[in-house]
Protein backbone atom coordinates (compact mmCIF):
# COMPACT_ATOMS: atom_id res chain seq x y z
CA UNK A 1 0.00 0.00 0.00
CA UNK A 2 1.08 3.60 -0.46
CA UNK A 3 -0.21 6.86 1.04
CA UNK A 4 -2.08 9.60 -0.79
CA UNK A 5 -3.49 12.95 0.33
CA UNK A 6 -6.70 14.63 -0.80
CA UNK A 7 -7.73 18.26 -0.11
CA UNK A 8 -11.10 19.12 1.52
CA UNK A 9 -13.97 19.04 -0.99
CA UNK A 10 -12.25 16.71 -3.49
CA UNK A 11 -13.42 13.25 -4.51
CA UNK A 12 -11.47 10.06 -3.80
CA UNK A 13 -14.03 8.00 -5.76
CA UNK A 14 -16.72 9.08 -8.20
CA UNK A 15 -19.92 7.05 -8.56
CA UNK A 16 -20.22 4.99 -11.79
CA UNK A 17 -16.54 5.29 -12.70
CA UNK A 18 -14.34 2.22 -13.19
CA UNK A 19 -12.48 1.32 -10.00
CA UNK A 20 -8.81 0.41 -9.81
CA UNK A 21 -7.99 0.94 -6.12
CA UNK A 22 -9.08 -0.02 -2.66
CA UNK A 23 -8.61 2.53 0.16
CA UNK A 24 -8.18 2.64 3.93
CA UNK A 25 -8.71 6.04 5.56
CA UNK A 26 -5.81 7.18 7.76
CA UNK A 27 -6.63 10.79 8.76
CA UNK A 28 -9.63 13.07 8.24
CA UNK A 29 -13.31 12.45 7.45
CA UNK A 30 -15.18 11.57 4.29
CA UNK A 31 -18.78 11.35 3.09
CA UNK A 32 -20.34 8.50 1.16
CA UNK A 33 -22.69 9.90 -1.49
CA UNK A 34 -25.13 8.30 -3.90
CA UNK A 35 -27.11 10.22 -6.54
CA UNK A 36 -25.98 13.46 -4.87
CA UNK A 37 -27.35 12.43 -1.44
CA UNK A 38 -25.10 11.93 1.58
CA UNK A 39 -25.49 8.38 2.92
CA UNK A 40 -23.10 8.77 5.81
CA UNK A 41 -19.88 10.20 7.17
CA UNK A 42 -16.84 8.22 8.30
CA UNK A 43 -13.40 8.82 9.81
CA UNK A 44 -10.04 7.09 10.06
CA UNK A 45 -9.62 3.30 9.95
CA UNK A 46 -12.32 2.49 7.39
CA UNK A 47 -11.83 0.45 4.21
CA UNK A 48 -13.77 1.54 1.12
CA UNK A 49 -13.75 1.08 -2.63
CA UNK A 50 -13.77 -2.71 -2.29
CA UNK A 51 -17.06 -3.35 -4.16
CA UNK A 52 -15.89 -2.38 -7.65
CA UNK A 53 -12.69 -4.40 -7.11
CA UNK A 54 -14.38 -7.51 -5.72
CA UNK A 55 -17.36 -7.62 -8.06
CA UNK A 56 -15.85 -6.02 -11.15
CA UNK A 57 -18.63 -3.42 -11.28
CA UNK A 58 -18.69 0.39 -11.55
CA UNK A 59 -18.23 2.44 -8.37
CA UNK A 60 -21.48 2.16 -6.38
CA UNK A 61 -21.05 5.52 -4.55
CA UNK A 62 -18.91 8.66 -4.45
CA UNK A 63 -16.45 9.33 -1.65
CA UNK A 64 -16.08 13.06 -0.92
CA UNK A 65 -13.43 14.44 1.39
CA UNK A 66 -14.76 16.61 4.27
CA UNK A 67 -11.47 17.86 5.69
CA UNK A 68 -7.87 17.26 4.59
CA UNK A 69 -7.64 13.57 4.12
CA UNK A 70 -4.92 10.90 4.12
CA UNK A 71 -5.56 7.40 2.79
CA UNK A 72 -3.68 4.20 2.22
CA UNK A 73 -4.15 2.94 -1.33
CA UNK A 74 -3.96 -0.62 -2.63
CA UNK A 75 -3.91 -1.23 -6.39
CA UNK A 76 -6.49 -3.64 -7.78
CA UNK A 77 -3.77 -5.89 -9.29
CA UNK A 78 -2.03 -6.34 -5.90
CA UNK A 79 -5.36 -6.88 -4.11
CA UNK A 80 -6.35 -9.59 -6.59
CA UNK A 81 -2.92 -11.22 -6.35
CA UNK A 82 -3.26 -11.36 -2.56
CA UNK A 83 -6.78 -12.82 -2.85
CA UNK A 84 -5.58 -15.51 -5.28
CA UNK A 85 -2.57 -16.37 -3.09
CA UNK A 86 -4.55 -16.57 0.15
CA UNK A 87 -7.22 -18.63 -1.67
CA UNK A 88 -4.57 -21.09 -2.90
CA UNK A 89 -2.95 -21.25 0.55
CA UNK A 90 -6.35 -22.00 2.16
CA UNK A 91 -6.95 -24.75 -0.43
CA UNK A 92 -3.52 -26.31 0.26
CA UNK A 93 -4.13 -26.17 4.03
CA UNK A 94 -7.53 -27.83 3.59
CA UNK A 95 -6.08 -30.59 1.36
CA UNK A 96 -3.34 -31.42 3.84
CA UNK A 97 -5.92 -31.47 6.65
CA UNK A 98 -8.15 -33.86 4.63
CA UNK A 99 -5.12 -36.11 3.95
CA UNK A 100 -4.83 -36.64 7.70
CA UNK A 101 -8.40 -38.00 7.91
CA UNK A 102 -8.36 -41.83 7.96
CA UNK A 103 -11.66 -42.17 6.10
CA UNK A 104 -10.32 -40.14 3.15
CA UNK A 105 -6.75 -41.44 3.00
CA UNK A 106 -7.26 -43.41 -0.24
CA UNK A 107 -8.73 -40.52 -2.23
CA UNK A 108 -6.73 -38.90 -5.03
CA UNK A 109 -5.37 -35.36 -4.68
CA UNK A 110 -7.85 -34.21 -7.36
CA UNK A 111 -10.79 -35.49 -5.35
CA UNK A 112 -9.37 -34.10 -2.09
CA UNK A 113 -8.99 -30.71 -3.83
CA UNK A 114 -12.68 -30.79 -4.82
CA UNK A 115 -13.73 -31.60 -1.26
CA UNK A 116 -11.29 -29.00 0.13
CA UNK A 117 -12.82 -26.38 -2.16
CA UNK A 118 -16.28 -27.09 -0.76
CA UNK A 119 -15.22 -27.24 2.92
CA UNK A 120 -16.64 -24.68 5.30
CA UNK A 121 -15.23 -24.07 8.76
CA UNK A 122 -17.71 -23.88 11.62
CA UNK A 123 -16.96 -23.11 15.24
CA UNK A 124 -18.96 -24.56 18.13
CA UNK A 125 -18.73 -23.27 21.71
CA UNK A 126 -18.46 -25.81 24.54
CA UNK A 127 -21.72 -27.51 25.48
CA UNK A 128 -23.70 -27.06 22.24
CA UNK A 129 -25.04 -29.94 20.15
CA UNK A 130 -23.55 -30.27 16.67
CA UNK A 131 -26.32 -32.60 15.62
CA UNK A 132 -29.19 -34.40 17.28
CA UNK A 133 -30.19 -38.04 17.03
CA UNK A 134 -33.30 -38.45 14.88
CA UNK A 135 -32.94 -35.24 12.85
CA UNK A 136 -32.44 -35.26 9.06
CA UNK A 137 -28.77 -35.51 8.11
CA UNK A 138 -27.62 -33.27 5.28
CA UNK A 139 -24.14 -32.33 6.48
CA UNK A 140 -20.94 -34.34 6.79
CA UNK A 141 -18.65 -33.17 9.60
CA UNK A 142 -14.91 -33.63 10.02
CA UNK A 143 -13.53 -32.67 13.41
CA UNK A 144 -10.54 -30.40 13.16
CA UNK A 145 -9.82 -29.45 16.70
CA UNK A 146 -11.95 -30.41 19.70
CA UNK A 147 -13.05 -33.10 22.10
CA UNK A 148 -16.63 -34.19 21.75
CA UNK A 149 -19.08 -36.56 23.27
CA UNK A 150 -21.30 -38.87 21.24
CA UNK A 151 -24.50 -39.99 22.93
CA UNK A 152 -27.18 -42.35 21.69
CA UNK A 153 -30.62 -42.95 23.15
CA UNK A 154 -31.50 -46.66 22.96
CA UNK A 155 -35.11 -47.59 23.82
CA UNK A 156 -35.30 -49.38 27.16
CA UNK A 157 -31.67 -48.60 28.01
CA UNK A 158 -29.72 -45.76 29.54
CA UNK A 159 -27.85 -43.33 27.30
CA UNK A 160 -24.77 -44.70 25.54
CA UNK A 161 -21.87 -42.28 25.85
CA UNK A 162 -18.47 -42.26 24.22
CA UNK A 163 -15.86 -39.54 24.15
CA UNK A 164 -13.96 -38.71 20.94
CA UNK A 165 -10.75 -36.72 20.82
The least distance separating ligand CMP from the CB of residue 3, rounded to whole angstroms, comes to 19
Contact between residue 23 and residue 49 where contact means Cβ atoms under 8 Å apart = yes
Residue 83 engages ligand CMP in binding (rule: CB under 6 A): no
Residue 13 engages ligand CMP in binding (rule: CB under 6 A): yes
With respect to ligand CMP, which residue has the nearer C-beta, 52 or 116? Answer: 52
Residue closest to 47 by CA, chosen among 66, 58, 63, 67: 63
Residue 32 engages ligand CMP in binding (rule: CB under 6 A): yes
Question: CB under 6 A: which stretch of 2-10, 45-53, 81-89, 143-151 binds ligand CMP?
Answer: 45-53
Residue 98 engages ligand CMP in binding (rule: CB under 6 A): no
Quick one: DSSP state of residue 136? P
Q: What is the largest CA-CA distance in the chain?
A: 78
Among 52, 65, 71, 116, binds ligand CMP (CB under 6 A): 52
With respect to ligand CMP, which residue has the nearer C-beta, 54 or 113? Answer: 54
Residue 50 engages ligand CMP in binding (rule: CB under 6 A): yes
CA distance 24 to 46: 5
Per-residue 3-state assignment (H helix, E strand, C coil) for 76-122? HHHHHHHHHHHHHHHHHHHHHHHHCCHHHCCCCHHHHHHHHHHCCCC
The whole-angstrom distance between residue 4's C-alpha and the CA centroid of its chain comes to 27
The least distance separating ligand CMP from the CB of residue 60, rounded to whole angstroms, comes to 3
Binding site for ligand CMP (CB under 6 A): 13, 19, 32, 39-40, 48-52, 59-61, 63
Amino acid sequence: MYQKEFPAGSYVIRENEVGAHLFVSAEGDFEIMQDGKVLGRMGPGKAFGELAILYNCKRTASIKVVNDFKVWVLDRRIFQLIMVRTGLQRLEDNISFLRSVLLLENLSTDLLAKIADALEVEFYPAGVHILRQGTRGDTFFIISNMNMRVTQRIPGKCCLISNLN
